[in-house]
Amino acid sequence: MTQSITHHLTDALIMGYSAGTLPEAVNLIVATHVSLCDECRAAVEAHDAVGGGLIEECAPAAVSKDCLSQVMSLIRDEPAPVAAQVPVDPAIPAPLRDYVGTSLADVKWRPVGMGVKQAVLRTSSEATARLLFIPAGTAVPDHGHNGLELTLVLQGAFRDEDGYFRRGDIEVASEAVNHTPIADISEDCICLAVTDAPLRFKGLLPRLAQPFLGI
């Protein structure tokens, strides 16, 4: 890694990711963070190893006699993937590319006010994933949470009551957290944010706009 990541996933998120029990949007942001963070990737691998050990202790399940040959036949018949020779934007980690493409220039941003823009990603309905573009020095309206909000920095940095977050850092905000994220003045900030419930805005204008923006 080119810089140290100081804000990491919780044990509950790592365990859920390893067990495959997270909603698609949460799974996406966890996978994206893990692709950038050596520490959390090692933790996931440790949980995977424990899960593999538990599976080995399970009683074997009966399968048909030709199960192996059927699987091998499917593998042989699958066409070999062709690697596309396209430039990859370093701001987009590999797990995110299937959702936004290979370049931030291709993202279809929607303005939400104060220069802030968002792009909602297509995932399952249990949680919502979106890209956020926050101009340098701009503050996101003060808000709380009705559930979980995960914010992963892809470019630039932001600061709030919980600390300073830069590329690779992830903020895990629960219902107990109220904050006002402010993008660092040095560079526009781009984040991947995931919520499983609407935010609680204090200001009147954000509350009025909230139903139209799906935040």
Helix (H) or strand (E) holding 97: helix 94-100
Spatial strand order in the sheet of 128-134: 110-113, 116-121, 128-134, 189-195, 149-155, 170-173
The model's pTM? 0.84
CATH number for position 97 = 2.60.120.10
Q: What is the pLDDT of residues 136-181, one digit of tens each?
A: 999 999 999 999 999 999 999 999 999 999 999 999 999 999 999 9
Total structural domains within the chain: 1
The larger pLDDT score, comparing residue 24 to residue 1, is at 24
Alpha carbons 144 and 124: distance in angstroms, whole number:
23
Per the listing, tokens 């949007």 go with 25
Q: Which domain holds residue 164?
A: 1-215
CA distance 55 to 138: 49
